[in-house]
Structure 1
C-alpha cells in the first residue's frame, strides 16, 4: 500500500465528505429523519414457495 503524499486523518476525510454533502447536524433534522424510520410500516412477508 503506497502512502499518500499528504497524510490526512480519517476523521478529516469524513468531515470533508460531510461538508460536501451539506449535512445538517441539528437535533431537529435528526428527529425528522428518525420519525421517518419509526413510522415506516413493517415489510410485508412474501409467501414462501412450496418445497417438495
Structure 2
C-alpha cells in the first residue's frame, strides 16, 4: 500500500470525531478549556501528609 491509499492518523481522528458529533466551534472549546483550567488538582493519596 502506498501512503496515498492509506488513511492518515489525522484523517482517522477527524473522521471519528465527525462520527461522534463533536463540536468544532470556538465557544465550545473555550467552555471546555475553562472547565479544565478551573479543575482542582488531583489528590495524590500516595504522598504522606506532613506532620509538624
What TM-score comes out, normalization by structure 2 length? Answer: 0.61
Q: What number of residue pairs does the alignment pair up? A: 45
Question: Structure 2: where are the runs of 5+ without partners?
Answer: none
RMSD value, Cα: 2.3
* Structure showing greater Rg: 1
Question: Structure 1: where are the runs of 5+ without partners?
Answer: none
Q: CA deviation at 1:12?
A: 2.7
Q: CA deviation at 1:45?
A: 3.6
Q: Deviations over 1:1-52 (max 9, x none)?
A: x8xxx6333333222101111111100000000000011012234352xxxx
The correspondence of residues 1-52 of structure 1 with structure 2, limited to 5 A, is 7-46=6-45, 47-48=47-48
What TM-score comes out, normalization by structure 1 length? Answer: 0.61
Relative to its length, the structure with more helix (as a share) is 2
